[in-house]
Amino acid sequence: MTTADVLRLDLAHARTVAVELLEAVGAQPDHARATVDNLLFADCSGIASHGLLRLPLYAKAVIAGGINVAPRMRWEAESVGAGLLDADAAFGQVAMEEALRWIEAQRGRASTVTVAVQSSSHFGAGGYWTRRLAEAGWLAIGVSSTGPTVAPFGATRKVLGTNPLSISLPAGAEEPLTADLATSSGAYGKVIGARNAGTSIPEGWAVDAEGNSTTDPEAAMAGALTAFGGHKGSAIAVMLEGLSVVLGEASFAFETEDIWSNPGSRMNVGHMIIAIDPGAFVSSASTAERVQKLRDAVRGAGEAVMAPGDPEQRARAERSKWIPLARSTVDAIDSMAVSVGVPGLAAHSDISHPDISHPDSTVDTKEHQR
């Protein structure tokens, strides 16, 4: 993607437009803000596949009924340190806000808190949630199911989701040490972005409907993505799908229809998040000090070595006032904005030639989750 295909957006204006668009299709104001905060965190972090790229999809899903803007979320099971939340097809971000609120309410009552969520939808960048818990002092692990996109190792049929894993560890004065990744070879959002921009995807990410390797995003969507790391990555993807789903009544990927294919699909996505209080084992200060020691050792292993989360941290420092978006993403958002009667993005954008260190400011800084 060239700089001519990139638009530079004022961050505050982008937030206003995105919130107004979701409110225009019926989202409650606080739900719209929570959802947009998560999407913009992704764009500011260089994770375009999980940013405003998804805003038109969310709006379409609301209009078609796949996402419920008036959910009656309820706790199906609650005990000390364990809860099962039924999200009633809410925005996944809204469900996760409730999950984090409940976890924090357990502080001092349990050393380890686990929340399972059912009847949810896409929750955005998973690292956003585990990072927030780590900022509050918890060690956090998050997993989620998705729609069917990935073929198990040796297969060509979509059975699994991209099944992201995020882990965040508190590190004192510095940002939490965070890893956030898909178990597919590439993020499905990147495939969508490539399709929208008319570009190809890397070799090895996907197979077409006949099982042949393809770099054509349309053929990849008709076929399946591959699991990362061969049979080992495929095994991890299977187990993360289980962890995301089996503690409640969420659907396996092969039981669902993705909202990318049918915006009216009630996907019944499952999430699970585990929060561990380090103060129940050693002091929180000692834990943070040792996490930072690990991070420093990784960074010190070579001149160009970065620890998990470093590229995203650098991107956020550069994008405190603006974000780069693919022209195709801006066009899709503005088309949706026109259809629901709210202002769009393009009037407050310009052709971007950002002076940043990333080689392509609209491409994710890593192989990120779906």
Residues annotated as catalytic (active site), given as ranges: 122
- Look up residue 148 and give its two tokens: 């069917």
**Distance of alpha carbon 122 from alpha carbon 107, whole angstroms:** 27
Give residue for tokens 């000390």: 80
Instruction: List C-alpha distances in Å: 174 to 41, 255, 284.
Output: 18, 41, 14
DSSP 112-175: EEEEEEEEE-----HHHHHHHHHHTT-EEEEEE--SS-EEPTT--S--B----EEEEEEETTEE
261-329-308-277 Cα dihedral, nearest 10 degrees: -70
Task: Tell how strand 150-151 and strand 74-79 pair up.
Answer: unpaired
Q: To 5 degrees, how large is the angle CA 147–CA 153–CA 158?
A: 25
**Distance of alpha carbon 300 from alpha carbon 322, whole angstroms:** 31
Phi, psi of 247 (to 5 degrees): -80, -5
Instruction: Determine contact, residues 6/327, Cβ cutoff 8 Å.
Output: yes
